[in-house]
Amino acid sequence: MNRFFYEAAQAADATAASPSLQDMLPLLLMSGAFVFVIYFFMIRPQRKRDKELKAQVNSMTVGDRIVTIGGVVGTIANIRDDEITIATSIANTMITFKKTAIGSVVKKETAT
């Protein structure tokens, strides 16, 4: 009985051929297309937005309005190396943030 199962297993191994490149080509093409789509529709636009924001942060001056990634809106009162201080309300509440916490910058000329 065991010999029967052993021979059946050997026969199954003999008939099962490894997949050829021709069989795997559609899978490889679909995988490549998926990577291409992910890069051009997700990664590349995000890098472009990050580059634009970095340029805005590096060119901001005192008096510009900013919105932080947490939603705090204020006017820049002081800029140091990697920190900014903003005035957030009529009472001129001063808050200090890291520059990495800035979500968007509105220049003085367009803020009016």
Q: Where are the domains of the chain?
A: 19-59, 61-112
Provide the pLDDT for residue 19.
Answer: 74
Q: Which residue has better confidence, 21 or 65?
A: 65
**Which listed CATH number (2.30.30.60, 3.90.1640.30, 3.60.15.10, 3.50.50.60) goes with 61-112?**
2.30.30.60
Taking residues 35-50, what's their average pLDDT? 93
Provide the pLDDT for residue 18.
Answer: 73
pTM of the predicted protein model: 0.64
- The Cα-based distances of 66 to 36, 50, 58, 109 in angstroms read 35, 16, 13, 13
| Partners of residue 68 on adjacent β-strands | 102
Each residue's pLDDT tens digit, 69-99:
999 999 999 999 999 999 998 888 999 999 9
Q: Which residue has better confidence, 12 or 108?
A: 108
Provide the pLDDT for residue 13.
Answer: 58
